[in-house]
Amino acid sequence: MTRLSPLLTSKKVLTFTYPDIQETTITPETLPTTEPTNPQIAYTVAQADLVQTSFPLFKRVEVGCVNASGTVVTAATISYRMVKNGSSVKTGTFTVAANYYYRLGYYFYNVAVDDVLGIKLWSNQTDSNWDVKTLFVAITRITPIDKPRCLYLVESAALLNRVGSGTPTFYHKDFTYQTANAFTIPFWYPHDTYGIFRVSRGDSMSPDGAESSTGTTRPAQKGGGYTPTQIIFRGLRID
């Protein structure tokens, strides 16, 4: 049979552009001792918060990463509730030693523009506070093109350390591997569910969940990981 279309598509350069992280510092605000009615920390996801790509993707999922930070004077148990568009996502507690800083990272899986992501915080002590909040949106589970789905001569640039240390998991239809380095793969068929990669925090780890860290100095990590900066490939027609 004569093939009427070329075996390979033109070279495609998929470039990722990451917006700046939103960070706000306020005068320390004391945490209530019971759950507040409204979230102290709230962000509305905007188009400008999304990772930009050099061409539209067949599939993609967004993860909203919200962080809160503060201090306690008396050793405390901090409680939290994650809310998305007014509905509870997850609630939990964690402990902080006296005169320690804390950071809480919250990961909302599968968010969209105009979603409102909120965090409620309260403490069992009257001298706990919060004073820093951040937001960024991660991209995960991408499938670059639909037909042809197979990718040929795939080459990545060095990955970007997106305010953390989590290593993404890359998926072929038949195997997986983790790397934070540039790589070359001759043939790649994206996983039907996970696409070509999953970010660590917010997808393979803690989807719709939270993590905490404490210290005598403010924990610097804002809760993210490595993400791609550029992937070059050609589509391979095998049907």
Say if residues 199 and 138 touch (Cβ distance below 8 Å): yes
Q: Is residue 187 part of a domain?
A: yes
Q: How much is the pLDDT for 167?
A: 85
Q: How many helices (H) and strands (E) does the chain have?
A: 0, 19
Q: Which amino acid is at 116?
A: V
How many domains, in total, are found in the chain?
1
What contacts 24+ positions apart, CB below 8 Å, involve 43-47?
43/116, 43/117, 43/118, 43/133, 43/135, 44/114, 44/115, 44/116, 44/117, 45/111, 45/112, 45/113, 45/114, 45/115, 45/116, 45/117, 45/137, 46/113, 47/113
Q: How much is the pLDDT for 1?
A: 47
Q: How much is the pLDDT for 239?
A: 59
Q: How much is the pLDDT for 200?
A: 87
What residues make up the domain containing 135? 12-236
DSSP 39: -
Q: How much is the pLDDT for 34?
A: 98
Which residue matches tokens 């019971």? 34
Q: Is residue 2 part of a domain?
A: no
The whole-number mean pLDDT for each consecutive block of 10 residues of the chain, a chain of 239 residues, reads 66 94 95 97 96 96 95 98 97 96 95 98 98 94 91 89 82 84 88 91 90 88 80 84
Q: Is residue 4 part of a domain?
A: no
Q: Is residue 3 part of a domain?
A: no
pTM of the predicted model, to two decimals?
0.91
Q: Is residue 218 part of a domain?
A: yes
